[in-house]
Amino acid sequence: MAPLAVLLAAAYQARHVAIADVASDRRAWLLLASAAAGCLLLPNRAGLFDWLRGFRRTPDHRERLADAVERVRLARGRREIAVVTARAVCDAVRADSARLLIESGDGSFTDSFGQVTPLRADAAVTRILRESRTALDLAPEHTLRALLPAADRDWIAENGLHLVVPLEHRDGTIAAVLAVGAKEDGGAFDRRDRWLVTTLTSAAAGAWDAAAAAAANTTPSPGDVADSAGDEAAFECVACGIVAGAKPLPCGCDDPPALASLPHRLAAKFLIERRIGAGAMGVVYLARDTTLGREVALKTLPDLRDDGVRRLREEAHAMAALNHEALATLYGLERWRRTPVLVVEYFPNGTLARRLAGGGMPAPAVVDIGVRLAEGLRYMHANGVLHRDVKPSNIALASSGAPKLLDFGLATVIGAASRGAVLRGHPAGTPAYLAPEARAGATPGPGFDLWALSVVLLEAAIGWNPFAAARPARLLRRALYVDLATISAPAPAAATVLTAFFARALAPRPDDRFQTAHDLRAALEPLAGTLHT
């Protein structure tokens, strides 16, 4: 608008000047052009500002490359290298697709996931890659594409490819071919894009040769399992979680398979059947211990990260130091390709979270759960350990219906200088079950676990968690105004009794609550007798 305003002001000042004289003045034409440009940009000013802000925020491509190369380096085995490399390439150059086609032994190259049709050994693209050992630009406007035989052009068009890059062994032979689709913005791959892709492919080649060397190593490091073809990461169905060592998967689901976080058979004795849980911090599989003939749960990491490895090992140590009927049992600790794998008791009845998905529970059952878990927390606290993440999804239900605490990934030694109190700038734990003082940054203590257990019991009683959407500033007021009228109790008197319990257990001031797990259990035990009569 500024150029237009200046133009109007100038026109007013020159109102007595002849039009011919104004037209011959260069300054007038420059002012007119500026005003026209301002009028054209005005309707699109929001998009222009967004573009400028995005340009300023664009991270340096070298930083993106370093991060991607590190992810490739940490990939566990050749299948995972293929997946991680393809994902890194898509992120680095904003390609709509990328796949690593692996040499099949007969000279052809095949996509393990079946998303790209095989590249034949006698294809012209294959011969050119072997001779040139450089990236080939196969975009529709590129001259090379027009010179290729019809069969090659059909293969390129069928798979929507714009770039192919060889992944070479140290001896110069091609181990795989990276097939890259079009750029998301429809543009051409420039010199920097090709440099990024080539550098990532070189990093993948180094990781590939390292994985091959590990596969040939017959003396694995202590506690690890020797790599072999059967020790590669398995395939899993993203829909139902079924796991298999090869495709097609036996489930028959329409979804394409994904890469599992473990091989189909671990340590020569655990046969992995399906994925039963997954999150940012870990993934859990149901497996059968073929040696002892029992079902177990295997917890591991979705990818190899130093912080994840440390936390999973600490969880194993915390579980190994505890032995109580209200706590899940740790059977052992395995390792696959430098990644810890916890072998844990399996619960076919699932978790309390799954049970509560169908609504609240009768008051007697709520009290029984509280008594048992309070005793488990009393045992943990007496041994100097805080759980730090008590919630329905971390409470398993045994075949008898008895609850057991799971997931000791945030377990902390009492008084350990609040180690792990904050993760990524936020209090450790699940926000909907954090005590008000935990949100305020207080040092972790037994009260954290007691508050979380009380919220779990309240959720079980009324069928929902009133703190799930509470803002920190409103958390204390929410504790005061929770409506307990919907408690599933056999009689109004029972609801009144539970209301009094929750009023103390979830009191706004920590000093007004139960101070120990023993106190909380002592308050629940008389209720059990009252509600069962």
**Structure token pair of residue 331:** 């059977």
Q: Tell me the pTM.
A: 0.79
Residue-range domains of the chain with CATH: 2-56 (no CATH), 61-216 (3.30.450.40), 229-345 (3.30.200.20), 352-532 (1.10.510.10)
How far is it, in rounded angstroms, from Cα 118 to Cα 108?
7
Contact 467, 436 (CB under 8 A): no
What are the angstrom distances between the C-alpha of 46 and each of 4, 34, 42, 55, 59?
19, 19, 9, 14, 22
| Paired tokens of 394 | 């971390």
| β-bridge partners, 426 | 423
Supply the pLDDT for residue 21.
54
CA distance 190 to 187: 9
Contact between residue 523 and residue 514 where contact means Cβ atoms under 8 Å apart: yes
Tens of each residue's pLDDT in the chain, 533 residues: 555 555 555 555 555 555 555 556 556 556 556 655 666 555 555 554 444 444 444 455 677 788 888 889 889 889 999 999 999 999 989 999 999 999 998 999 999 888 999 999 999 999 999 999 999 999 999 999 999 999 999 999 999 999 999 999 989 999 999 999 999 999 999 998 999 999 999 999 999 998 888 766 644 444 444 444 568 999 999 999 999 998 889 998 988 899 999 999 999 999 999 999 987 678 999 999 999 999 999 999 988 877 888 889 989 999 999 999 999 999 999 999 889 999 999 999 999 999 999 988 988 999 999 999 999 999 999 999 999 999 999 999 999 999 999 999 888 888 764 444 444 445 678 889 999 888 888 899 999 999 999 999 999 988 888 888 655 555 545 554 555 555 555 555 566 778 889 989 998 899 999 999 999 999 999 887 777 66
Q: Report pLDDT for 51.
A: 45
What CA–CA distance (Å, rounded) separates 273 from 263? Answer: 11
Q: For 235, list phi and psi in degrees, rounded to 5.
A: -105, 145
For residue 222, what pLDDT is reported?
46
Rounded Cα distance, 373 and 453, in Å: 8
Residues assigned a catalytic role: 389
Q: Which helix (H) or strand (E) holds 276?
A: strand 270-278
Instruction: Please give the sequence-ordered ranges of beta strands (E in DSSP) within 387-446, or none if there are none.
Output: 395-397, 403-405, 412-413, 422-423, 426-427
Report the distance separating Cα 108 and Cα 126, nearest Å: 8
Helix (H, G, I), strand (E, B) or coil at 34: helix
Beta-carbon contacts of residue 327 (< 8 Å; ≥ 6 apart): 319, 376, 379, 380, 404, 405
Residue 365: what pLDDT? Answer: 93
Nearest Cα neighbor of 212 from 248, 175, 186 is 175
Contact by Cβ (8 Å): 224, 335? yes
